[in-house]
Every structure is written in C-alpha cells, then in structure tokens.
Amino acid sequence: MHKGYLVELGDADEIYSNPKHTYTKSLLASIPQPSPRFEKNRVLETLDMYSLD
C-alpha cells in the first residue's frame, strides 16, 4: 500500500521474486540482509516520490 492505495497484488513468492511497482521495489530493497559482505556492496533502489502520484 502507498498513500492508502494498493499498488501491487499477488502471492508473496511472486511479489518477492518479481516486484513490478517502484514502491514495492523500494520497500524490498530496504530489507537488511544478514551478510555483511552483501550489505557493504548493496545498491539501494531510489524512489522518485513525484512519479507515484
């Protein structure tokens, strides 16, 4: 949900493996990973809040 609206529907496996909406991608990219090596090299998904309106 973003600003009270559903932005993506699907089962959990589908959404985690292949997110379609930029807000979903941004939320999934913000989940910390337990691997310090991965966290050190991680590139965060940026979100243009103006493109979502």
Query: How many domains does the chain divide into?
Result: 1
- Looking at the predicted structure, is the pLDDT value of residue 50 above 70? no
Nearest of 34, 29, 33, 32 to residue 45 by alpha carbon: 29
Residue 33: give the domain boundaries: 12-52
| 4-46 pLDDT, tens digit each | 888 899 999 999 999 998 888 888 888 887 878 877 777 766 7
More confident residue, 49 or 8: 8
Q: Does residue 40 lie within any of the structural domains?
A: yes
Q: In whole angstroms, give the CA distance from residue 39 to residue 1.
A: 26
Phi, psi of 40 (to 5 degrees): -65, -35
Q: What is the pTM of this model?
A: 0.62
Q: Does residue 2 lie within any of the structural domains?
A: no
Q: Does residue 43 lie within any of the structural domains?
A: yes
Q: Does residue 1 lie within any of the structural domains?
A: no
